[in-house]
Structures are given as structure tokens and as C-alpha cells.
Amino acid sequence: MSDCLFCKIIAGEIQSKKIYEDNEMLAFYDINPMAPVHFLVIPKKHINNLLELKEEDASLIGRLFHKAQELAKKEGCEEKGGRFVINAKKDGGQTVDHLHIHFLGGRTLGWPPG
Ligand code: AMP
Ligand code: ZN
């Protein structure tokens, strides 16, 4: 999608602090971190949000979460954990319409979200 911010990051048109990349996903630090560790894992395939996920992409999401937990451990969050989040659409607080997993760690997070 030509007007999608995260597609532009994937294409290298916008810089990001990359943590991991392969043929189907990219992980990078959030530009506005909400915790000491805050990164995003995104599919290279443009999917608007989790509500539009097709069954054929279900295993892709599994691999994104698996990579997210691997990276969370590498970032030192194995012992204390953190939060793996997908915001969807307006009520979920989604601001970038390209499916992404947030990982937040390094501090104790409140629940429920405000
Ligand atoms: P969401 O609100 O769930 O859609 O999350 C979008 C996230 O993308 C927010 O946490 C933003 O801080 C983050 N973000 C926006 N632009 C960039 C960027 N250029 N590089 C890294 N993260 C970004
Ligand atoms: Zn996109």
C-alpha cells in the first residue's frame, strides 16, 4: 500500500531502528516508546488489522508472535515478562492501519488499559 507508513518502512523509504528482518516480517523499535522496551513486529504483507485477518494468514500471525517472544527474551524480558498487544481499529486505539504486534516490557504495566 503506497500510502501506508509501515509499508514505507518495509520498503526502506522511512528509516526505522530495525531489530530483525526476514522475507515475511520486520521488527523495529517504536518511535514513541511507552516502556523501556517497546518494539513492533509487522508482517511485510499489508493487512489492515486483525479483524481483517484471513484464515490463510493465521499461521503468519503465529510466526510473528513467536518472533516477538524470541526478541522479548533477547531484550532481557524473559524473567519479568511484559505485554504482547495488537490494537485493532478505533476502539482499540490503532493509529497505523498495518497489522502490528507491540511488545512492551521493562516496567510493570497497569491493567486494565485506560
Ligand atoms: P497503534 O497505535 O497500535 O496503531 O501503534 C502504532 C505505533 O507505531 C505507535 O506506538 C507509534 O508510536 C508507532 N510509530 C509510528 N510511526 C513510527 C515510526 N516511523 N517508527 C516506529 N514506530 C512508529
Ligand atoms: Zn502497509
Q: How many whole angstroms separate alpha carbon 87 and alpha carbon 94?
A: 5
Q: In the chain, pLDDT over 70 holds for what percent of residues?
A: 99
| Grid cell for residue 59 | 499461521
Distance from chain centroid for Cα 82: 14
Please list every protein residue whose CB sits less than 6 Å from any atom of ligand 1.
5, 14, 16, 28, 30-32, 87, 93-96
| Grid cell for residue 27 | 521488527
In sign, the C-alpha dihedral spanning 93, 66, 105, 27 is negative
The structural domains of the chain, ordered by start, are 5-105 (3.30.428.10)
Give 29-48 pLDDT, tens digit per residue: 999 999 999 999 999 999 99
| Residues less than 5 Å from ion ligand 2, measured at CB | 1, 4, 6-7, 46, 98
Place of cell 516480517: 25
Predicted TM-score (pTM) of this structure: 0.98
Atom from ligand 1 closest to the CA of residue 93: 2
| Grid cell for residue 57 | 494468514
